Amino acid sequence: MKLSKALKNSLWAIAITIISILAVFPFFWMLLVSLKTRVLTYDPSVWFFKPTLENYIAVFQQRHLLFFAKNSFIVVISTTVLSLLLGSMAAYGFARFSFKRREDWAFWILSLRMLPPMATVIPFFILARFTNLLDTYLILILAYMTFNIPFSIWMMRGFFEEIPV
């Protein structure tokens, strides 16, 4: 039995609407909870309340948010710049130069993306402890670069191969 095109489109629209509501609802719920007082936070049945910004004020005044944001910016910017710099040089080499076992090396780099990040936690901890890098930006940047550089090499290699010589 064939469904009419209008019925099919309606069913798709209903399905997409339901999925969208399910995807957006947790964010809506977090926003509602963040605007409640501490007492009302634990009562999920309260949908109508007087919103307050005291939670946001507390975060900015008492939680050293700027200190944590500064740490994040240092790590993110350093990781991004170094990953792009090193990744672009390696990707250019893979795209433009012929060398022995080039495709094997490219596959090896791709296989690093398949490595579960948790498999590197203990080796990174041992490395950080022996080199006195515990609680430093450098070890965190190196950990992020372990997974960012193979990704940037793999992505940029395709772009460099498309540039006409």
Q: What is the pLDDT of residue 1?
A: 54
Query: Of 84, 79, 54, 99, which is closest to residue 156 (Cα–Cα)?
Result: 84
Residue 6 banded pLDDT, cuts 50, 70, 90: confident
Residue 41 and residue 28: Cα distance in Å, rounded? 14
Residue 162 and residue 165: Cα distance in Å, rounded? 9
Q: What average pLDDT does this structure show over 37-55?
A: 82
- Does pTM top 0.85 for this prediction? no
Residue 165 and residue 73: Cα distance in Å, rounded? 37
The string of pLDDT tens digits covering residues 102-125 is: 989 999 998 888 889 899 999 999
Chain-centre distance for alpha carbon 121:
18
